[in-house]
Amino acid sequence: MIVAEQKNIDEIRDSLEGFKSAVVAACGTCVTVCMAGGEKEALRLAAVLEIGARERGVQFSADVICITRQCDMEFLAEAEDKLLAAECILSLGCGAGVQFLAEKFPSKVVIPGLNTEFIGVNRGLGYWTEMCQGCGDCLLAKTGGVCPVARCSKSNFNGPCGGSALGKCEINEDTDCAWQLIYDRMKRLDRLEELLEIEGARDWRTSRDGGPRAACREDVR
Q: Where on the chain is the footprint of other proteins (CB under 8 A)?
A: 153-168, 170-172, 177, 179-180, 183-184, 187, 192, 195-196, 198-202, 204
Q: State the Cα–Cα distance between residues 94 and 39, nearest whole angstrom.
A: 14
For other proteins, the closer of residues 116 and 164 by Cβ is: 164
Least gap, CB of 22 to other proteins (angstroms): 32
Helices (DSSP H) in the chain: which residue ranges?
9-16, 30-33, 39-55, 73-78, 80-84, 95-104, 148-151, 178-188
Least gap, CB of 162 to other proteins (angstroms): 4
For other proteins, the closer of residues 25 and 150 by Cβ is: 150
* Inter-residue contact 169 to 177 (CB < 8 Å): yes
* Inter-residue contact 114 to 4 (CB < 8 Å): yes
For other proteins, the closer of residues 166 and 220 by Cβ is: 166
Least gap, CB of 43 to other proteins (angstroms): 35
Which amino acid belongs to residue 83? L
For other proteins, the closer of residues 120 and 160 by Cβ is: 160
Least gap, CB of 180 to other proteins (angstroms): 6
Q: State the Cα–Cα distance between residues 115 and 157, nearest whole angstrom.
A: 29
Least gap, CB of 178 to other proteins (angstroms): 12
Least gap, CB of 159 to other proteins (angstroms): 4
Per DSSP, the three-state class of 90 is strand
For other proteins, the closer of residues 70 and 164 by Cβ is: 164
Helices (DSSP H) in 17-171: which residue ranges?
30-33, 39-55, 73-78, 80-84, 95-104, 148-151
Helices (H) and strands (E) in the chain, counts: 8, 9
Give, in order, the Cα–Cα distances in Å from 70 to each of 14, 42, 216: 24, 14, 20
For other proteins, the closer of residues 21 and 153 by Cβ is: 153
